[in-house]
Amino acid sequence: MIPQQLLIFLLTAVVGFLSSLLGVGGGVLLVPIFTLILKLPIHEAIALSLSCVMATSITSSSKYLASGLIDLKAVLYLETVTVVASYLAGKAAGLISDQAIALAFSTMLIVSAVLMILSKTEAKSIGHFSFRGYPPALGASVLAGGLVGFLGVGGGIIKVPIVQLLLGKPVKEAVACSGMMIGISAAIGIIPYMSRGELPLNWIAFAALGTILGSYLGSKIFHKIESSVIKFMFAVLLIYTAVTMAIKTMGK
């Protein structure tokens, strides 16, 4: 029992490290780890993954907020619609075909990845609050929340491009904002799983402590990495997620 707990701690530390650098929750990596190693049912794996996302978010946000990389207005305004959409979509998930949504999701991820790679100019921070870009960003956040609720993954994958492309933030600020937003979404998204008793409480400590350690180390070296490297890593992650989802969907 102890070695398995240690293994989970180490694996979640690695995922937390990558998640902190990329502004994603790490659900795409955590869910397979929990289902394959802990042999948890998929719903419990998703719930445990969401609890780790919260840990990653708190750790990285405490650092990024102090560094001035997070625009609190952008985070809170976008999350007002995301949390509602996420919860409602999660409740209504059974009414719409998973395959149809997953294919649309994969397509959108690939488009986002291509746009991110092609955008050569680095956006400058606006520096003060502006409504420019917010209406489409709020609309996209509703879509993001809906997709997260239906699919259980994809918070940061969608939010980084929203903040970068629609609000005109540099990629590092987009990653930092996304890192804070995914935690808020996860705190709401985990509620239905808790209500159904699908959250394995005994694993939370080891998984969450691992992600805290990993994301702390990730946020430490975040400033030393070039934006272009983060952008490239994120684009690769987007394409990987899109292809994986498309293959899984076609396999059903």
Query: In the set 94, 95, 118, 202, which binds other proteins (CB under 8 A)?
Result: 202
Span of 29-37, 108-116, 187-195, 233-241 interacting with other proteins by CB under 8 A = 187-195
CA atoms within 13 A on the CB side of 248: 15
Q: What backbone phi and psi angles, to 5 degrees, belong to 9? A: -60, -45
Residue 12 interacting with other proteins (CB under 8 A): no
Give the separation between CA 54 and CA 182, rounded to whole angstroms: 8
184 binds other proteins (CB under 8 A): yes
d(CA 236, CA 158): 14
Pattern 210-239, other proteins, x by CB under 8 A: --x---------------------------
Compute the distance between CA of residue 185 and CA of residue 89 in angstroms, rounded to an integer. Answer: 12
Q: How far is the CB of 245 from other proteins (least distance, A)?
A: 26
Q: How far is CA 172 from CA 39, 104, 125, 159, 227, in A?
A: 36, 27, 10, 13, 6
Residue type, 118: L
45 binds other proteins per the rule CB under 8 A: no
Residue 114 or residue 205: which is nearer to other proteins going by CB?
A: 205
209 binds other proteins (CB under 8 A): yes
Identity (one letter) of the amino acid at 170? P
* Dist. CA 205–CA 208, nearest whole Å: 5
Q: Which of the ranges 31-39, 66-74, 110-118, 237-245 carries the binding residues for other proteins, by CB under 8 A?
A: 66-74
Among 17, 22, 46, 77, binds other proteins (CB under 8 A): 77
Q: Helices 134-151 and 98-118: crossing angle, nearest 10°? A: 140
The yes or no reply on residue 3 touching other proteins (CB under 8 A) is: no
Q: How far is CA 164 from the centre of its chain?
A: 15
Which positions lie near other proteins, rule CB under 8 A? Answer: 2, 5, 51, 54-55, 57-59, 61-62, 65-66, 68, 70-73, 76-77, 79-80, 83-84, 87, 183-184, 186-188, 190-192, 194-195, 201-202, 204-206, 208-209, 212
